[in-house]
Amino acid sequence: FDMFVLAFVERLFRPTYKKDDFVLGKKLGEGSFGVVYRVSLANKPSSKEGDLVLKKATEYGAVEIWMNERVRRACANSCADFVYGFLESSSKKAAEYWLIWRFEGDSTLADLMQSRDFPYNVETLILGEVQDLPKGLERENRIIQTIMRQILFALDGLHSTGIVHRDIKPQNIIFSEESRTFKIIDLGAATDLRVGINYIPKEFLLDPRYAAPEQYIMSTQTPSAPSVPVATALSPVLWQLNLPDRFDIYSAGLIFLQMAFPGLRSDNSLIQFNRQLKRCDYDLVAWRKTIEPRCGPELRKGFEMLNLDGGIGWELLKSMVRYKARQRLSAKAGLAHPYFDREGLLALSFMQ
Ligand code: ADP
Ligand code: MG
């Protein structure tokens, strides 16, 4: 009850917006369920490029607003700063949901990973300066470790709140320039299993490149339903049984893999990897046995990095990318994994 009163009071004192308050800027993205623009407030022309982001969404926007409202109350640091969401039905077009966030920065992890300079470009962003240190595996490992820690931290926040994201991928992880950390975006496919708002499992929305083999989270418990949020009152017990959060862990494991192996960063090579792993019955050790003896430098480098410190990185990867959800680590357990015992990036800047 208190939670709802608080939510109501909080809502009452926050600014509310309508369509005409915004000036549209550059288009940032376009999916099948919405278009994303950089925008600024009409009465605040000082912010020339626009310090906000607007998503004009279809009917699925209702759930995305709900998820963002919940995140900003329960685990605000996990995701991009949500400002406001509303139903826009003033024009003749079909009604749209408008969602507003603070503009967090220019780069997603996908953008950063495409650069030849990855992961050093991320080191510069996080530390705010270029490091005058010799490049090498050890240093790259520490940068990647820092990124993984931030991703798991954000996921732990979501999962502790009862939200499974279901679309974790580098394109949905944004670097927040203000906090100098990675945050999660795009809660369009997310589901909240504790409170009972359970979306129709939109399997068709899931990105097959990053989806865990189980793919259809809870779909056996959830009858197909109309395209509105349905309260199904799923209990925490069911959460415990099915471990739906481990779906995101698998996706995060694939991101770890792509960061470690330059040869797996492109879409095509990831798709090929998925095929190979499936052929190995999702056994990463078996995959390694078939690949390592005949692999080129782009893959060998990944194995070398994961072998550092007694193979602790490989150990972590293995405990995230597993066929059975219950054998994968939780985000919280992941953060406690010895891979993260080594000091990360910030320690690196004091080493000079
Ligand atoms: P889609 O449903 O199109 O995937 P996203 O929510 O993932 O929508 O946003 C699309 C793109 O817009 C992202 O990949 C990112 O580049 C940009 N973007 C989204 N939210 C923000 C934000 N808060 N700050 C900066 N850029 C953002
Ligand atoms: Mg997206």
pLDDT digits (tens, 9 = 90+) for 196-218: 555 555 555 678 899 998 865 55
Instruction: Please tell me the distance from the alpha carbon of residue 68 to that of residue 145, in angstroms, as a whole number.
Output: 27
When mean pLDDT is compared across 190-194, 217-221, 248-252, 260-264, the lowest value belongs to 217-221
CA of 131 from ligand 2 middle (Å) equals 31
Q: In terms of pLDDT, which residue wins out, 190 or 317? A: 317
Could you say which ligand is closest to the alpha carbon of residue 27?
Answer: 1
The 8 Å CB, 24+ separation contacts for 335-341 are: 335/149, 335/152, 335/153, 335/156, 337/312, 338/312, 339/145, 339/148, 339/309, 339/312, 339/313, 339/315, 340/145, 340/148, 340/149
When mean pLDDT is compared across 144-148, 238-242, 309-313, 332-336, the lowest value belongs to 238-242
Q: How many helices (H) and strands (E) does the chain have?
A: 12, 11
Q: For residue 240, is pLDDT > 80?
A: no
Name the residue with the closest Cα to ligand 1, atom 14.
171
Q: For residue 221, is pLDDT > 90?
A: no
Could you say which ligand is closest to the alpha carbon of residue 67?
Answer: 1
User: What amino acid occupies position 9?
Assistant: V
When mean pLDDT is compared across 10-24, 59-73, 221-235, 291-305, the lowest value belongs to 221-235
pLDDT in tens, 90-147: 777 788 999 999 999 999 999 999 999 999 999 999 999 998 889 999 999 999 999 9
pLDDT at 94: 82
User: Which residues have CB under 6 Å of ligand 1?
Assistant: 28-29, 31, 33-34, 36, 53, 55, 80, 101, 103-105, 108, 171-172, 174, 185-186, 188
pLDDT at 2: 67
Name the residue with the closest Cα to ligand 1, atom 11.
29
pLDDT band at 45 (very low <50, low <70, confident <90, very high): low
pLDDT at 58: 87
Q: For residue 232, is pLDDT > 60?
A: no
CA of 146 from ligand 1 middle (Å) equals 22
Omega prior to 119 cis, within 30 of 0: yes
pLDDT at 90: 76
Counting ligand 1 atoms within 8 A of each CB, the residue from 53, 97, 166, 182 with the most, and so the one to mutate, is 53
Name the residue with the closest Cα to ligand 1, atom 7.
186
Threshold 0.95, pTM exceeds: no
**Which residues, in sequence order, are CB contacts of 311 under 8 Å at separation 6+?**
none
The number of the ligand 1 atom at minimal distance from the alpha carbon of 108 is 16
pLDDT at 264: 97
Q: In terms of pLDDT, which residue wins out, 275 or 202? A: 275
Question: What whole-number percentage of the chain has pLDDT above 90?
Answer: 67
CA of 171 from ligand 1 middle (Å) equals 8
Could you say which ligand is closest to the alpha carbon of residue 111?
Answer: 1
ipTM over 0.85: yes
> What is the DSSP secondary-structure string of 157-186?
HHHHHTEE-S--SGGGEEEETTTTEEEE--
